[in-house]
Amino acid sequence: MPGDGKWTDTRVRKRLRLGIMGGTFDPIHYGHLVAAEEALVQFNLDKVLFMPTGTPARKTDQRVTPAEHRYLMTVIATASNPDFEVSRLEIDRPGVTYTVDTMTELRTRYGDSADLFFITGADAVLEILTWKDSARLADLCTLIAATRPGYDLSPFMERPVPSGLRVETMEVPALAISSTDIRARMASRRPVRYLLPEAVAAYVSKNRLYRGDG
């Protein structure tokens, strides 16, 4: 369990500050990794748990790479960072993935021993605030919103947001990297070096993902 061992010798157990970085990770790239690392440092988190989505609720009309590939790419990308872990919670849960179910499950698992921080890019925050269950989410976690080029986070500076969800904003170095762009580049044989870890790019080639031929 994240954080175990680290606190076992302390008399008063410190509350675990657990970051959760959800995403399709199709494929994972440096935008995701930089955002997670910044959240870790800026919010003094003990761990960031990367959570590849099973069947993403908002991408049911899109082709998404099989979960096992997305999970393994996430493991490869995070393997060298001792503060990053990858969870199978969502990919092992049948049906469409809802973040509120994941947060409920983590809350049940950790009880009152952890504070949960859901890390998202600015585009995702704008969506989350429109979810019908964002009020339930508000009871479970705090949102950390990372800046992303082209998205104005200033509305979140005025609080509270309607659902009561706590939203913390975070500046990350502007990285105009997206999985959509990486897939398009790979399909048309354009370069992706320096946009995502080399080992992930090698995994993509080996498994012939994103070749644009279906």
Give the footprint of ligand ATP on this chain (CB under 6 A).
Answer: 23-26, 31-32, 35, 120-121, 123-124, 146, 148, 172, 175, 177-180
92/171 with CB nearer ligand ATP:
171
Three-state DSSP string of 26-60 = CCCCHHHHHHHHHHHHHCCCCEEEEEECCEEHHHC
1/149 with CB nearer ligand ATP:
149
Count of beta carbons in the 10 Å neighbourhood of residue 207: 14
Closest contact distance (angstroms) between CB of 13 and ligand ATP is: 30
Residue 152: exposure state from Cβ atoms within 10 A (0-12, 13-18, ≥19): exposed
Closest contact distance (angstroms) between CB of 81 and ligand ATP is: 16
Residue whose C-beta lies closest to ligand ATP: 121
Closest contact distance (angstroms) between CB of 32 and ligand ATP is: 5
24/87 with CB nearer ligand ATP:
24
CB 21 within 8 A of CB 36: yes
The residue written with tokens 């019908």 in the block is: 132
Closest contact distance (angstroms) between CB of 31 and ligand ATP is: 2
CB 20 within 8 A of CB 49: yes
